[in-house]
Amino acid sequence: MFAAESATIGEPAINISIFGAFVVVTLFITFRASRNNKSAADYYAAGRNITGTQNGLAIAGDYLSAASFLGIAGAIAIYGYDGFLYSIGFLVAWLVALLLVAELMRNTARFTMADVLAFRMRQGPVRTAAAISTLFVSLFYLLAQMAGAGGLVALLLGVSGAAAEAIVVVVVGALMIFYVLVGGMRGTTYVQMIKATLLIAGALVMTVWVLAEYGFSLSALLGGAVASEGGQVLEPGAQYGVSGATRLDFISLALALVLGTAGLPHVLMRFYTVPTAKDARKSVVWAIWLIGAFYLFSLVIGYGAGALVGSETILAAPGGVNAAAPLLAFELGGTVLLGVIAGVAFATILAVVAGLTITASASFAHDVYASVLKKGQVDPNAEVRVARITAVVIGAVSIGLGILALQAGINIAFLVALAFAVAASANLPTILYTLFWKNFTTQGALWSIYGGLIVCIGLIIFSPVVSGSETAMFSNFDIAWFPLRNPGLVSIPLSFFLGWLGTKISKEKPDIDKYAELEVRSLTGIGAEKAVAH
C-alpha cells in the first residue's frame, strides 16, 4: 500500500507518458477540427451540427469535472454518506435544466446566455451584466479545475513544493488556452466526448474491480468501509450535522447544487451546438443517464477508497482528499491502472477548462465587444479574434487563482459548489423571470444579476472558506463573519427578490410584444437559429 510519507505513487515516467499520449491525440483532433472553423457560428457553436447523442456525451464530458471524479470520490471516502450528497445534488440539478431551460434556451439564443436575457430588454446594460456574471462563474469553476490539475499531477510526477505545483498549473493552463485558440467549440466538443467515454469507462473498470474484491457484494464493501473508517461513514452527519450551522450549510449547499446547473453558462452554451430544440432535449436526457451512471460508480469508488486505502493515507497524500481515486487505482492495479486513471483525470480537467474558457471568452467577445461596444456592426472574424485574446487573459487569471487554491488544499468539489452558488444567484433568477414573467424589466434583470453576484461573492469573501480557519485559502488572518461556507441559502432567494423588487419599482414599461414573441419562439422554435453558418 502507498506509504503516507511518500511523495509520489506509481512510476512518474509511465504516468507522464500516458498524459503525453492523451495530449498528442487531443491536439491532433483539435487541429483537424480547426479546419472547419470558417465563421463565428463554427467557433462558438460548432456550426450547430452536433447531434443530440453526441452533445449529451459532450455535456457529460463538460459536467463530469475534476470535482466529480476526484472531489466526490474523496468526500465519500472520508465522510461516507455526507460525501455522496454532492452526487445527489449534481444529478438532480439536471431535472431543473431539462424541464425549465434546455429547450427554451436553444430556441431563443444564438451563442450565449445573454442572447436570451437581452431579447426583450435594453441590450447594452443586460449584455454587460450577463457577461460579467459569466466571467465570475467561469473563473470560480476554473479555479477548482486548476487546483485539481496541480494536485493530481504533482502527486503522480513526484514533484513537491509550492513552486513545482505552480509550474504544473501553468502547463495545464497553457494547454487549455491552446485548445480553445485553435479548436474553438468544435475541437472542445470532440475532446469532451473522448474524455467522457474514457472517464465513464475508467470509473466502470474501477467499480467492477472494487466489487470483485468483495465478492460483488455491495454490503460486504460497505462492511469493509465500516471496518476501516468506523460506522459513521454509513450515517448522515459526518460532515454536516455537528451543529445547527453545519446543517444550515448543508441546506445552502443543496440549494446551490440543485439550482446552479441551469444557470451555468458553459452548460447552457452546449445547447446552441445542436440543430433543433428536440436535439437539445435529447442531449440532456443522454447526459442524465451518463452522469447518473457515473455517480453510482463514484459511490463504489469512494467507499472502496475508504475501505482499501483508508482516510489517514488519503489525507496524508499530496492533494489530500482529492487523491482518493488515484490512490485506490494504485492499490487495485498498481502502476498501470494508476497511470490510466490519472490520464483520464488529467483529460477530465483539460476538457472542462477548455469548455469554460471558450464560454467566458465568447461571452465577452459576443456580448460586450460585438453587441455593446460595436453595436452589432462588427466583422465576425474580428469578434472571434477578440474571443481568442480574451481566452488568453482568462487563462492567465485562472492560473494565478488556481495556484492559490491548490496551496490552500481546499476540496475541489467544494470549490465547484461555490461556482454553482454564483450561477444560481446571478443567472438562474434572471433566466426564469425572462422566460416566464411578462412584466419583467431591464431594471429587474440588472438588480437580480448584480445583486445576486455581489451578495454571493461578498458572503464568500467573508466566509470561513477565505479566512479564519485552518482550511481557509488565507488561514493567517480572520475577516470571516458569515457563518456558512456556501452562501446559496441567502444569495439565491435574495436574487429572486431583487429581480421582483427592481421590476415593481421600475418606471420602465415591460415590452409585452417582445415577451409574446419570445414565448412563441421559446415554445415552438419559430425564428430560432438554424444549423447553418451565420
Query: What digits encode the pLDDT tens for the residues 260-288?
Result: 888 888 777 777 777 777 787 888 888 88
Q: CA-to-CA distance for 342 and 328, rounded, in angstroms?
A: 11
Q: What angle do CA 145, 151, 153 make, to 5 degrees?
A: 95
Residue 112 has what DSSP assignment? Answer: S
Q: What are the helix (H) ranges across 123-161?
A: 123-157
Which three cell numbers, joined as nine digits, stand for 166?
505552480
Query: Does residue 1 carry a pLDDT above 50?
Result: no
In the block, cell 429547450 appears at: 103
Question: What is the b/e burial string over 451-469, where b = at least 16 CB atoms within 10 angstroms of the residue's CB?
Answer: bbbebbbebbebbbbbbbe
CA angle 406, 407, 408 (to 5 degrees): 90
Please spell the DSSP secondary structure of 438-470, one letter per residue.
TT--HHHHHHHHHHHHHHHHHHHHTSTTTBSST
- Does the pLDDT value for residue 448 go beyond 90? yes
Confidence (pTM): 0.80
Q: Which long-range contacts (CB under 8 A, 24 or more apart) does 166-174 make?
A: 166/403, 166/406, 169/399, 169/402, 169/403, 169/406, 170/399, 172/146, 172/349, 172/350, 172/353, 173/146, 173/353, 173/395, 173/396, 173/398, 173/399, 173/402, 174/395
Confidence of residue 3 (pLDDT cuts 50, 70, 90): very low
pLDDT for the residue 38: 62
CATH of 12-524, one of 3.40.50.980, 3.40.50.2000, 3.40.309.10, 1.20.1730.10: 1.20.1730.10
CA geometry: angle at 419 spanning 398 and 470, to 5°?
Answer: 80
- Give the pLDDT confidence score for residue 343 in this predicted structure: 78
Statement: residue 451 has pLDDT above 90: yes
Q: Give the C-alpha separation, 293 to 201, whole Å.
A: 11
Most confident of 155-164, 317-326, 379-388, 508-517: 508-517
Q: Which of 125, 208, 145, 185 is nearest to 362 (CA)?
A: 185
Q: What is the mean pLDDT of residues 62-68?
A: 74
